[in-house]
Amino acid sequence: MDSSLFTMVEDLRGADAARILSHGASSITIGAAYHRARDVTPHGATRVTFRHDGVHFPLGDVFDGLRLVPPVQRGADQEPIRALRAETRALGVALHGWGVFLHNTTLGLAFPDVTQESCFGDRAAPADLCPSHPDVRAYAIALGRAIARQGVDSVVAESLHFGTFGHGYHHERSFVELGSAAEFALGLCFCRHCLAFLPDAEKARDAAARLAGDVLDGGPPASDIPEVLTEYARARSPIVTSLAAEVAAAVAAEGSQLAFLDLTGAVLGYADGRPTGAPAAASAWRIGVDPAALGSAVPSYAILCYAHDTARVAEDVAAYRAVLGPDTTLRAVLRPGRPDTASADHLAAKAAAARASGADTTDYYAYGLTPLPVLDRIPDAASRG
């Protein structure tokens, strides 16, 4: 069974393809375009690494004439993606190019009109570029094409959908107990492009403002989402599906293929690996994702199985497989260490459960963030999965 280890370019310093693959994966997924972050990198050239928004390759002409152009990372002129591609080719293994598409603080701060707009008219989520905006859509298509031109076997598209309230910036504070419904309402976009596309948008915006406003004015936390907001959020899925289809076509034109990375599993389980409620596939509508529709638009679909419980991993994979159908490649991404996984046997059990429930591949996140002894759990998991 194929398995891939997610890796970021900064973590290649002192590590070639053979060293990364020595931890048991059969391919590498490299972060060709990433977002700003501060990471503890236990075995890296730097022990705490600050990452910047932008791409790790020269732009070429693919963004010519576009309003939104990604920042270029330091060292991109050395073409680390192509160098890694040469190494993986020599080893006879696949290289996948991973891009963070619509989560870019640098672009959002420079062009606030392309970011998501709250029900109160605030542009306070600079990292979240709105997939309804024509300039954002053109940027996403160009980014997919640019990553594909690095010679990768597939383009893994992260954040190719709407953002959430809890992840729109990197130093967020709230001393108000909002409740899940008010937080959801504050994360919905009501920019002019969304208002023009979506039915009953003004009604939904008013409902979101009332719901969140009541809590902000001193009312109790809100946990029940009004039907008008559920319908509004679900109506956004064609925006995401059509954009993914356009990016997939652009990637295919460059000789590669698109893997859509659904972040719902991270929304539910990132912090503690203890997601609750229905399987992740049933909550994907909250970020504008319709897995069934996307299964017909993209050749490959990746899900984040950020869960400690092996049964939950199996449940999530089975739910996605059921809605995607048999023809879409399904990749299940596991974290080999905390907070999801306690041992090599635990990881192997989850990989086996994912495979038995319909995953075509199990992938692992992420090389630079994970201590070396924890990475050593992967070979057994990969062999069982």
Q: Considering the domain boundaries, does residue 337 fall inside one? A: yes
pLDDT at 166: 85
Q: pLDDT band at residue 169, thresholds of 50, 70 and 90?
A: confident
CA–CA distances in Å: residue 358 to residues 70, 322, 352: 36, 9, 10
Give the three-state DSSP class for 360.
Answer: coil
Residue 190 lies in a domain: no
379 DSSP assignment = H
Q: Please answer whether residues 320 and 292 qualify as being in contact, where contact means their C-beta atoms are separated by less than 8 angstroms.
A: no
Range of the domain at 144: 4-170+238-384
List, for residues 61-109, the tens digit of each pLDDT value. Answer: 999 999 999 999 999 999 999 999 999 999 999 999 999 999 999 999 9
Residue 283 vs residue 2, higher pLDDT: 283
- Kindly report, residue by residue over 324-350, the tens digit of the pLDDT: 999 999 999 999 999 999 999 999 999
pLDDT confidence of residue 13: 87
Residue 187: name the closest of 276, 94, 263, 274 by CA.
Answer: 263
pLDDT in tens, 117-150: 999 999 999 999 999 999 999 999 999 999 999 9
User: First-to-last CA distance in the chain?
Assistant: 7
Q: How many domains does the chain have?
A: 1
- Within a domain: 219: no
Residue 311 is assigned to a structural domain of this protein:
yes
Domain annotation covers residue 325? yes
Q: What is the pLDDT of residue 385?
A: 62
Helix, strand, or coil here: 120? Answer: coil
Q: What is the pLDDT of residue 337?
A: 98
Average pLDDT over residues 290-298: 98
Residue that has been written with the tokens 């599993």 in this structure: 265
Global pTM exceeds 0.75: yes
- Where residue 108 sits, what CATH number does that domain have? 3.20.20.80
What DSSP assignment string belongs to 90-117? HHT-EEEEEEE-SB-HHHHHH-GGGB--
184-223 pLDDT tens trace = 999 999 999 999 999 999 999 999 999 999 999 999 999 9
The rounded distance, in Å, linking the Cα atoms of 93 and 265 is 28
Please indicate, yes or no, if residue 248 is contained in any of the structural domains. yes
pLDDT at 50 over 70: yes
pLDDT for the residue 375: 98
User: Which run of H or of E encompasses 364?
Assistant: strand 361-364
Q: Examine residue 204 and state whether it is found in any structural domain, yes or no.
A: no
The predicted pLDDT at position 149 comes to 99
Looking at the domain assignment, is residue 62 inside a domain?
yes
Q: Per the structure block, which two tokens stand in for 286?
A: 């909250």
Instruction: Output the CA–CA distances (angstroms, integers) from residue 254 to 96, 150, 257, 372, 379, in the order listed.
Output: 14, 10, 9, 36, 33
